[in-house]
Amino acid sequence: MRRTVTRWRRRTLAPVLIAVGGTAAVSGSAMAGSLTVYGRLNTAIEYSRASTATDGTALGSVVRQTNYRSVFGLRGEEDLGGTFKAVWQIESNISLDTGQGVIASRNSRVGLQGDYGLIFGGHWHTPYTEATMGYDPYYPTTAGYMALIGNGSTSTSNNIDDTSSFDRRQKNIVQYRSPSFGPVSVWLGAGLPEEKTTVARNPALYSAAVVYDSGPLNATVAYEVHQHYQAASRNDDALKFGAAWQIVAGTRVAVVYEHLHYRTDTGDLQRNAYYASLVQQVGVGSVRIGFGLAANGTGSSTDTIGFFRSGPDTGATQITIGYDYPLSKRTALFAFYSRINNRSRAIYDFAINELGVSAGADPQTLALGMRHNF
């Protein structure tokens, strides 16, 4: 009878703890683990428009409610003895504006962690992406730096569905995160070539980052290879350097440099891009400024890959300024204005909630929103 009551308590109390939220601990003679319920609700009302394109096309304006990748997640770990433990996470997308969502559509994994680091498999941001996304105070919103840095953003992709973006969450990825060697750690990832049986090439992804994190300074160098993404036997690659520095309390600056190189059937396509941000506390909130610059594309390729192509007048800049006002430790109101200034042949657009601009049009948006973390 005692065993029956114990089983009933476990089955009954665990869902109650999960429903309440926060952290729930479940233990017994056969297991010792933890479960954390977490999430982010992030949405805004935007007024968005684009200027007239070079060919005279005008999109007009739109008022819209936008979702900034709101999430619902579960994560936990189980002690396996000593410093060895199993770790897992299931993170799902929540679309507050439409009521839609897909389970495990965001960072989800299962792995092992110990003195020699963390190894896991699942569906996760690449090391190249994750190394610098915290440098952008508007990641992941319409104003995020992914319009220029990374050449667009893909919320989830394999090796053939989105072959342009270097800002990506990769399906079927295996990753290793080393322990810290002083302030330095190494992140490695491989997107397995499961599509080899469906396409006439062998597409795969390889991603790496070396991360320095000590006190007020975080710095990284990251590199990623997309094997056979554009053409058989030809690889694309990206190199990125970044640093973020907490100068004094309430003042943080970050900078990023990136070089993208695509190799297509018609030749090579390359581009340099730069990004800088400032977060400055003003009153109880903070002013947040981001500036991006994409140089003209170069190379012999006649293809357009993502947002850019080769030739004169194919570069762009992006400026974003806004204010974040905390109502509590978990809830904030925010407002921002962001504009991309395209040169006459450039087609850069917002990476999230894009407008669909033609060459030379300048997309811009004014947002008022609310964010809650739990």
Do the beta carbons of residue 167 and residue 150 sit within 8 Å?
yes
**pLDDT of 314:** 98
- Over residues 141-166, the pLDDT tens digits come to 999 999 999 999 999 999 999 999 99
Residue 15 inside a domain? The answer is no
- Over residues 279-305, the pLDDT tens digits come to 999 999 999 999 999 999 999 999 999
Residue 17 inside a domain? The answer is no
Residue 358 inside a domain? The answer is yes
Would you tell me how many other CB atoms lie within 10 Å of the CB of residue 3? 7
Q: Could you tell me the CATH number of the domain that includes residue 160?
A: 2.40.160.10
- Over residues 301-325, the pLDDT tens digits come to 999 999 999 999 999 999 999 999 9
Instruction: Indicate the residue type of 32.
Output: A
| Number of domains, the chain | 1
Residues 6+ apart with CB under 8 A from 21: 37, 374
- Over residues 117-128, the pLDDT tens digits come to 999 999 999 999
For tokens 């495990």, name the residue: 104
Would you tell me how many other CB atoms lie within 10 Å of the CB of residue 184? 13
Do the beta carbons of residue 103 and residue 95 sit within 8 Å?
no
Residue 35 inside a domain? The answer is no
Residue 7 inside a domain? The answer is no
* Alpha carbon distance 133, 39 (integer Å): 18
- Over residues 41-85, the pLDDT tens digits come to 999 999 999 999 998 888 889 999 999 999 999 999 999 999 999
Tokens matching residue 369 = 């929103």
Residue 158 inside a domain? The answer is yes
* Alpha carbon distance 207, 320 (integer Å): 29
* Alpha carbon distance 242, 220 (integer Å): 5
The pTM assigned to this predicted structure is 0.90
pLDDT band at 15 (very low <50, low <70, confident <90, very high): very low
Residue 33 inside a domain? The answer is no
Which domain range does residue 95 map to?
Answer: 43-373
> How does DSSP classify residue 8?
H
Do the beta carbons of residue 43 and residue 369 sit within 8 Å?
yes
Closest CA to 212 of 178, 239, 253: 178
**pLDDT of 38:** 98
* Phi, psi (deg, nearest 5) at residue 246: -85, 95
- For residue 203, is the peptide bond before it cis, meaning its omega torsion is within 30 degrees of 0? no
Closest CA to 201 of 173, 175, 163: 163
Q: Is the pLDDT of residue 353 over 70?
A: yes
Count of all residues that appear for the chain in the document: 374
Residue 21 inside a domain? The answer is no
**pLDDT of 22:** 45
Strand partners for 293: 274, 317
Q: Are strands 167-177 and 153-157 parallel, antiparallel or unpaired?
A: parallel
Instruction: Indicate the residue type of 152.
Output: G
